[in-house]
Structure 1
């Protein structure tokens, strides 16, 4: 009897592991997102592992800046990884001061991914008030950088507070599962953060892993554009 139960347990674990295959095998374009919590990153090893892009935390609120941003930003670029920077939005802090904090730190170049606004908190704001604040940041950021920012948020937060809004902006959703996020409004997403417990060469400990749902050409089209008659040097690495 005990042997039978053991065999059944092993079979169950095998079936479970098969049903939860690595999400990245279903998508051609994968990437990471990092902050100071990943410590010192060996970006050459990250590049050699085949990651196509990385989002790097830059700022939070009106005065916080990630201590590892400058090093991560420079080294990711040197290693030839397509890079993007994100700002963690605080709902009760001046939108203009938050954007100024980000702009003073992040100097995007042609070929970089658009700025990202990380929206995870509502505070005491109504959903309508939050939407108005987020929209203000997005409009001002687009005016400054000349490219539409990306919105990052969790699936549940999006469905409760942001669904039906900002359809003109690329959407990056977090859902830690092997099952794709499904929005209540049917809005498709462009990026999916599917785990916060991935492993990667060049990084000690766990790291967030993401996929892009489109093609290489579609990823390039999201980025800060190059001047006319200039070629994107990272295109050869994708």
Structure 2
């Protein structure tokens, strides 16, 4: 686990040497905010950190409320941040919003990921309030203070963890944000190879998220098909019958397509219709499960392990 610091104009002109001498391996500097603000210390901070051999990151403090504004802010950030060649870039998402902001955040990240590997910075409450599992395409820098291990909500783990906003370093006045960087993310930066998520874990996380929104399951979205997830699935086995419509049904249909039991456009999306029912029974037959189209734990075990 590597130690590091994130800084902004609020810290003023800061001693990067002191940060290095305190045993830190990386520095993240604010570059921009909204669609007009430029941090006047950004280029200097990154240049000094690079000269000292630190891993460097650049972040943008988001103000957008829509996808269109997100794209505008992303292009602004890119125009300012790219010149300093940071090792990674970050969307700092902590703006009060209305509704799901995943699409807007993804639009931002897709643009800035052309500079360097991209992450999203967020705290657990914002993840729960404004994001869905699609955002886990990008690694997480989580802000969670006063705990021994942070909550990552939708992600199985974190790339970075901001564990305090009241850190202190000899030679620097005032408080600093202190962070840990996980070894897999560090290795991805060092080698240029992105951290590849396990597709099955991502699918299970998507299922857990759908169980929560469709049936108020109250599951932790962690990609682990543990007792709570299995209990939630058992609880809906008599609900998912022909004619039932839900996001969980769509998840089943996507898995059946993956296995080759359903063809694209051969079924009604989200609806447990006749083609979907027949595909489930064929799957059950081939896996020697009860062949009745009922989604018991024995059938779910196929989906969750393959």
**C-alpha distance in 2 between matches for 1:187 and 1:60:** 29
Query: Who is 1:70 aligned against?
Result: 43
Asked if the contact 1:39–1:204 (Cα under 8 Å) also holds between the matched residues in 2, the reply is no
Give the structure 2 partner of residue 37 of structure 1.
10
Considering only CA atoms, is the larger Rg found in Structure 1 or Structure 2?
2
Shift of 1:224: 8.4
Instruction: Provide the residue aligned with 1:61 in structure 2.
Output: 34
Name the structure 1 match of 2:20: 47
Q: Name structure 2 gaps, 5 residues minimum.
A: 194-306
Alignment of 1:101-112 (within 5 A): 101-107=76-82, 112=86
Structure 1 residues 148-227: aligned runs within 5 Å: 148-185=117-154, 187-214=156-183, 218-222=185-189, 225=192
Aligned residues: 191
Offset at 1:95?
2.2
2:93 maps to which of 97, 112, 119:
119
Q: Deviations over 1:173-210 (max 9, x none)?
A: 00111321224446311111010000013421100000
Aligned match of 2:55 in 62, 70, 82?
82
Instruction: State the alpha-carbon separation in 2 of the partners of residues 153 and 53 from structure 1.
Output: 19
Q: Distance in 2 between matches of 1:195 and 1:46?
A: 16
**Which of the pair is proportionally richer in helix?**
2
1:122 is displaced (CA, Å) by 3.8
The C-alpha deviation readout for 1:84-132, integer Å capped at 9, x for no partner, is: 000011123622321122112112677x432100111243x321xx111
CA separation in 1, counterparts of 2:153 and 2:80? 35
Other-structure match for 2:109: 138
- Answer yes or no: is the 8 Å Cα contact 1:114–1:224 preserved in 2: no
Contact kept? 2:102, 2:132, Cα under 8 Å: no
Aligned to 2:75: 100
State the alpha-carbon separation in 2 of the partners of residues 202 and 219 from structure 1: 27
Which whole-Å deviations, capped at 9, do the CAs of 1:29-79 have from their partners, x for residues lacking one? 110100111122111221121101111010011111112212212211222
Name the CA shift for 1:108/1:179 in 2 (closer, same or farther; >3 Å).
farther
The normalised TM-score by structure 1 is: 0.73
Q: Which runs of 4+ in 1 moved over 6 A?
A: none
Q: CA–CA distance in 2 between the matches of 1:33 and 1:89?
A: 16
Task: Provide closer, same or farther for how the CA distance between residues 156 and 50 of structure 1 changes in structure 2, counting only shifts above 3 A.
Answer: same
Unpaired runs of 5+ residues, structure 1, are: 1-27, 227-238
How much is the aligned-residue C-alpha RMSD, in angstroms?
2.2
